[in-house]
Structure formats: structure tokens, C-alpha cells
Amino acid sequence: MKNKYLRLLAFTFFASGIWDTIAGILYIFFIGTGRQIDNPPIDPFFAIFLGSFFICFAYLQFLSSFNIKRYAFNVGCLIIGRLFYIIQLYIFMIFAEGFPSTFWFTGVIDGTFTILYIFFAIKSGLGLRDLFLPKRAAINL
């Protein structure tokens, strides 16, 4: 990989995997009703369930970062997912009465990762098709 922006995209994708690992650990062990962080209240089952998804996303990001051009579609998936999360988070913080604003920083961090994904992808020459439409591979049966 000679393109410096692809390297930066891969590094950013790996770093966001670290962030998702931290989120997964927090959800599994610290967030949930009766735990250290329980505002907003969330049942321990759903906290662990969400944490397991964060761990899966992190694994996907770690492995994809080693061949980012081939797995650019995974970057596109995370762009969509992070944007959805950010929009949902801030809508709840603004419009849901009593929803705590303690998670605002996660929206900022996820927003930063999303902007960096898009910036480095564009600068590296990856197009929308690379990010949002998987390449069709021939299958020899």
C-alpha cells in the first residue's frame, strides 16, 4: 500500500476499533442497571448484547485495516452505522425529556472518526462504489 491516505485510513480504522473495544468493555462490565453507569437505565442483558456488537465491530475494523483497500466496503458500513448512531444520540439528548447528556463526547468521537473515514477515503482515490457497494467476485464452484 503506497498511498499515504490509504495508510491513514487504515490507521484511523484500526484506532476506531480500539475505541469500539473500549465501548464494548464499558457496556459489558460497567453500563447497565445496577452497575456503575446506569443513566439512562439499561437492562444488563441489553448492555452485554450491545457490548458484544462493539467487540465484533472492533474485530472487523482491526482485521480490515490490514488490507483497507480490499475491505473498503467495511469502512462504508461503519460510516452509515456511526452516522445513524450520532443522529440518534443527539436527537435523544435534545428531544427526549430526562435523557442524560453524559454521552455527548461519544458523538464527537464517532463524528471525528466518520469525517476522517470520508476524508481519507476520498483523498486516497476510493470512490462511493468502493465504500458502499461490495465488489462482485467470481466464484468457481
Kindly state whether residue 82 falls inside one of the protein's structural domains. yes
C-alpha cell at 99: 435523557
Mean pLDDT for the stretch of residues 23-46: 85
pTM: 0.87
Kindly state whether residue 45 falls inside one of the protein's structural domains. yes
Kindly state whether residue 101 falls inside one of the protein's structural domains. yes
The rounded mean pLDDT for the chain is 91
Kindly state whether residue 67 falls inside one of the protein's structural domains. yes
C-alpha cell at 74: 467495511
Tally of domains in the chain: 1
One-letter amino acid of 98: G
> How far apart (Å, rounded) are the C-alpha atoms in residues 138 and 27?
40
CB 110 within 8 A of CB 86: yes
Kindly state whether residue 54 falls inside one of the protein's structural domains. yes
Q: Which tens digit of pLDDT belongs to each residue from 51-64?
A: 999 999 999 999 99
Kindly state whether residue 22 falls inside one of the protein's structural domains. yes
Kindly state whether residue 78 falls inside one of the protein's structural domains. yes
25-34, 110-119, 122-131 — most confident range: 110-119
What Å distances lie between residue 116 and 39, 74, 121, CA to CA?
30, 14, 8
Is residue 134 predicted with pLDDT exceeding 80?
no
